[in-house]
Amino acid sequence: GPCQTTKKRKNGSRKTETNACFKNETNKQISTKVIDTTLIDKLKILADKEKKVKEYRERFRIKGKVKALGKTKKDNLTLTVEKDREEYKFTVLKSHKKRFALANRLQRGNSVSVEGIPKFRYIICTRLKVLEKGLAEGKQGKLENYFQVVSS
């Protein structure tokens, strides 16, 4: 019949396959296997880009101080970062060699910039950076005292 293809099997017998068909302007039937997929491909690319943007937007970014370091059952590292009296627990996977090595060198009180993907009960670390300057905790009192000492 129309839109049927015959395929030869390994054992020599034949198999007929029926494909979905539609008619074009000249009333001839065309198999769906011939459909131009450029539009579908473009849509797929756009959808993938949108997914990446959404995933990036959902990432958790924080700058804070390392409060605690620990290990999980599977030897991954847990990193507790404190910012504005709130604690955030990040998990650094051992499969990410550079990040894992950096997390191993960290000490309590270090200032870090961390980015991660929130998962159930913890945040998987996707970026880890040690802040050399440290975080500024504005204390103007020291500056006022300094001027009093200089002027007297």
Give the start-to-end residue ranges of the domains of the chain: 18-58, 59-130
pLDDT 10s digits, 79-125: 888 888 888 888 888 898 888 888 888 888 888 888 888 887 788 88
Query: What's the pLDDT score for residue 21?
Result: 62
pLDDT 10s digits, 58-85: 888 888 888 888 888 988 888 888 888 8
CATH number corresponding to 59-130 = 2.40.50.140
pLDDT 10s digits, 19-58: 666 665 555 555 555 677 888 999 999 999 998 888 777 8
Does the pTM surpass 0.75? The reply is no
Helix, strand, coil tally for the chain in percent (to 5): 30, 40, 30
Maximal CA-CA distance, the chain = 107
* Integer Cα distance of 59 and 66 in angstroms: 19
